[in-house]
């Protein structure tokens, strides 16, 4: 089952499940203008190339020219097509060969040649791609943040050097936060913790869970007891196959998505957004410079400056006097834990799971079930009802006697 859970190459059960959904392929500003340089892409174990043509349309094609396999990354992006510099063959954004200039039969033979291309949608600062069966293409997502102006959201993309699932499962592991993400002053000096205004997350180290299956995946309630006896409930969603909604605050919301590059690498997109108005100057400054939720990256890459090669810049003095980990930012703290869990693909036969892992176990089972069902022709309901995932994270304070499961159910209903 671990192989089925973690392998996403073409022809694998989980790879076929992912291919039935729209996936982010790149940030839109990676292709900043018409006829700009093409971009190398790797997604679900496939090597691809992305480009924006003269008319501003985006194409995502096989990385290699179908003539003799030359890499199209080096191609000329001109006159509404990407031209291979090896022999001049040219392809449009739909994969049609529009010119074969090196042979007399080129004008007729070009109609017999196509390169693999994938449908794209450009939306909310991202280029989304559909890599599945052509006549099974689903309607697009209806996440509310997709409709917000650019000023209402902030996004970052990071490369994570491990399998997508071990990158994702921390988002429904509420018990790690009061250890991995705390400071010794209970996060009083942590800018991002002030945004969240949720000190109890770091005080109660033994949350309990209430879990419900939904049409889109799962809803989780992480329940912590307050000093007055009331129940503090953090509401998180897992939206199939790789979207999560952690870290709710009264104002700024968040969604994470972990897109498999291949079995040992993941692209982690994190978007923070406000549905009611532009992000404030303070919020933007904290996102750009605070470093707690959006770490500094090496210029020209999506690799964090603090990474495995430099031990994530752990500071043992800071660990002794200020931070539980000695590592500065939340995402980097996570990377230090997940990029080498018995390697880039965790050996789950060696785990000793406990009650705090209940949500992780549930999502694993549901992912495996969805992949096995698809092999039998049973499609995930979300493919046909994208509005079902129009949900938001939240937090609630309930009286001691309240039924948390009952209180969760309205949060699993699609918002208008």
Note the pLDDT of residue 194: 42
Tokens coding 289: 């410079």
Q: d(Cα 193, Cα 170) in Å, to the nearest integer?
A: 17
User: Which positions ≥6 away from 414 have C-beta within 8 Å?
Assistant: 387, 388, 389, 390, 391
Write out residues in the chain with pLDDT < 50, as ranges: 191-198
Q: Where in the chain do CATH 3.90.380.10 domains reside?
A: 144-412
User: Which positions ≥6 away from 4 have C-beta within 8 Å?
Assistant: 12, 13, 14, 368, 371, 372
Q: Where in the chain do CATH 2.102.10.10 domains reside?
A: 22-135
| SS3 state of residue 324 | coil
Superfamily covering domain 22-135: Rieske [2Fe-2S] iron-sulphur domain (2.102.10.10)
Note the pLDDT of residue 252: 74
Please calculate the CA angle 138-7-356 and round it to the nearest 5 degrees. 95
Note the pLDDT of residue 202: 58
255: which strand partners? 271
Note the pLDDT of residue 190: 52
Q: Where does 144-412 sit in CATH, by number?
A: 3.90.380.10
Q: d(Cα 200, Cα 178) in Å, to the nearest integer?
A: 9
Note the pLDDT of residue 247: 67
Note the pLDDT of residue 195: 38
Tokens coding 395: 């937090």
H or E element: which one contains 120? strand 120-123
pTM (2 d.p.): 0.93
Structure-derived torsion over alpha carbons of residues 349, 354, 355, 358, reported in degrees to the nearest 10 = -20
């Amino acid at each position: 089952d671990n192989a089925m859970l973690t392998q996403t190459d073409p022809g694998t059960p989980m790879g076929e499940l992912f291919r039935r959904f729209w996936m982010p392929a790149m940030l839109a500003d990676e292709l900043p203008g018409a006829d700009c340089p093409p971009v190398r892409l790797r997604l679900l174990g496939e090597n691809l190339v992305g480009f924006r043509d003269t008319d501003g349309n985006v194409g995502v094609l096989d990385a290699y020219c179908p003539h003799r396999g030359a890499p199209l990354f080096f191609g000329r992006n001109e006159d509404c097509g990407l031209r291979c510099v090896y022999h001049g063959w040219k392809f449009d954004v739909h994969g049609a060969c529009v010119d074969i200039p090196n042979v007399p039969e080129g004008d007729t033979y070009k109609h017999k040649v196509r390169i693999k291309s994938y449908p794209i949608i450009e939306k909310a600062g991202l280029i989304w791609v559909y890599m599945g069966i052509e006549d099974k293409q689903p309607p697009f997502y209806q996440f509310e943040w997709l409709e917000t102006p650019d000023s209402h959201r902030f996004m970052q993309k990071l490369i994570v050097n491990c399998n997508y699932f071990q990158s994702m499962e921390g988002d429904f592991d509420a018990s790690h936060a009061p250890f991995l993400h705390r400071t010794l002053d209970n996060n009083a000096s942590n800018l991002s913790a002030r945004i969240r205004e949720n000190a109890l997350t770091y005080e109660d180290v033994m949350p309990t869970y209430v879990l419900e299956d939904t049409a889109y995946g799962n809803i989780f309630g992480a329940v912590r007891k307050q000093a007055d006896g009331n129940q503090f409930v953090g509401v998180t969603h897992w939206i199939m196959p790789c979207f999560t909604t952690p870290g709710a605050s009264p104002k700024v919301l968040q969604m994470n998505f972990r897109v498999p590059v291949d079995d040992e690498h993941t692209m982690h997109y994190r978007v923070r957004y406000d549905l009611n108005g532009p992000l404030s100057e303070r919020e933007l400054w904290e996102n750009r410079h605070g470093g707690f939720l959006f770490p500094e990256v090496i210029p020209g890459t999506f690799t964090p400056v603090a990474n495995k090669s430099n031990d994530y810049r752990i500071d043992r003095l800071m660990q002794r006097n200020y931070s539980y980990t000695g590592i500065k930012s939340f995402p980097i703290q996570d990377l230090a834990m997940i990029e080498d869990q018995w390697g880039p693909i965790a050996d789950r036969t060696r785990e000793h799971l406990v009650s705090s892992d209940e949500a992780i176990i549930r999502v694993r089972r549901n992912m495996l079930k969805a992949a096995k069902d698809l092999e039998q022709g049973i499609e995930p309901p979300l493919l046909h009802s994208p509005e079902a995932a129009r949900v938001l994270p939240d937090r609630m304070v309930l009286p001691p006697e309240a039924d948390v499961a009952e209180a969760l159910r309205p949060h699993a209903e699609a918002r208008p």
